[in-house]
Structure 1
């Protein structure tokens, strides 16, 4: 009978240990930017709908895992901490949820509007989406709100939102970025209502201009 060599036995033991380590590693944790449903009670319904378009995000942030920046400028991927959906969808859905709560309006994604229905169209282009370890969440976005078949003045603005991190680890970073997205939605809602675009101390408007009304644009 042939017996395995010591080298073969050791190699087999090392492989078994490696596989055991992989099987016992903690599963990834998933995060969302949307507010939990229990905290999302709707307000009185508005007389118009909202149409929140797909959001663009920078490539370096558009990853399945959380990308965390240090104050020195390096970026680390947290492979065990991931977004529940693609980041662009997370931001779009969080903006929609916040606007629906703030304005009391439904999103055309869930309600098919009539051809002449009053709609506010919302678009956001994110230039910066930063999670800074142990410090802050930062959101830099250019955004547009435009009325369709309803009164109001469209706006094109750029806002910088900074929320301090309250706690340690990935959950605290995500909570801060969740507040930042909600604050950006607050600025959009304020513009739709015809008020100031600064909707809180964490939002700084870097520029804002009125948009000419589009002619013949279909809200559907």
Structure 2
């Protein structure tokens, strides 16, 4: 009888621990556009994507989504794999490199003649998502050409629909939105650069 009681107590303890197990967290990362063949010839232009400012509300590991006009939710189990301040410049650099067909675009300082570098500063003003609907990014950007020329600046506001209801669709929509921002920055550089 004592042995049976111990066995039942052990089984109940195992079931209790199994019921308390945490759900598995999913980690997400922004991604650049898929590589494609460029019709443009390769250019020697050098671009450095500088540090990126993001709103404090979304500067956290949890993915933040809008739940109403004045409410957001943070899912403890849907997280960014890396900070947005490091993901956004990396993705922008890859997309700008593809847009300009230049192998010399980076989010990190490069060796070489730093006087010939186009420097890009990014200030993300809005980074909103609604599950199953769309994401919206609003970005102020500034491009400092080499030499003493005046900086170029712009504002890109992009609303990108989600192709599904989950967090993976939100992250994919954010990636597409930043590809559009990269296109705006690249067009500005292309219009001012002696390519």
Normalised by the length of structure 1, the TM-score is 0.73
From 67, 81, 86, the equivalent of 2:83 is: 86
1:20 and 1:170, CA in 2 relative to 1: closer, same or farther beyond 3 A?
A: same
Higher RCO (Cα < 8 Å, 6 or more apart): 2
Deviations 1:178-220 (A, max 9, x none): 110110111100111118xxxxxxxxxxxxxxxxxxxxxxxxx
For structure 2, the residue ranges without an aligned partner over 5 or more in a row are none
Deviations 1:9-32 (A, max 9, x none): 97x877644432344x44222211
From 28, 35, 38, the equivalent of 1:40 is: 35
Matched, 1:57 2:54: yes
Aligned-pair CA distance for 1:74: 1.6
1:110 and 1:146, CA in 2 relative to 1: closer, same or farther beyond 3 A?
A: closer
Where do residues 194-205 of structure 1 align in structure 2 (5 Å cutoff)?
194=191
1:18 and 1:149, CA in 2 relative to 1: closer, same or farther beyond 3 A?
A: farther
1:100 and 1:20, CA in 2 relative to 1: closer, same or farther beyond 3 A?
A: same
1:115 and 1:183, CA in 2 relative to 1: closer, same or farther beyond 3 A?
A: closer
Match of 1:112 in 2: 111
Match of 2:92 in 1: 95
For structure 1, the residue ranges without an aligned partner over 5 or more in a row are 4-8, 196-220
Where do residues 66-215 of structure 1 align in structure 2 (5 Å cutoff)?
66-105=63-102, 106-108=104-106, 109=108, 111-116=110-115, 118-149=116-147, 154-194=151-191
Say which SS state the counterpart of residue 191 (structure 2) adopts.
coil
Structure number with higher helix proportion: 2
In the aligned structure 1, how far is the partner of 2:93 from the partner of 2:105? 7
Deviations 1:107-137 (A, max 9, x none): 3527412244x21111101111011122110
In the aligned structure 2, how far is the partner of 1:59 from the partner of 1:115? 32
Say which SS state the counterpart of residue 164 (structure 2) adopts.
coil
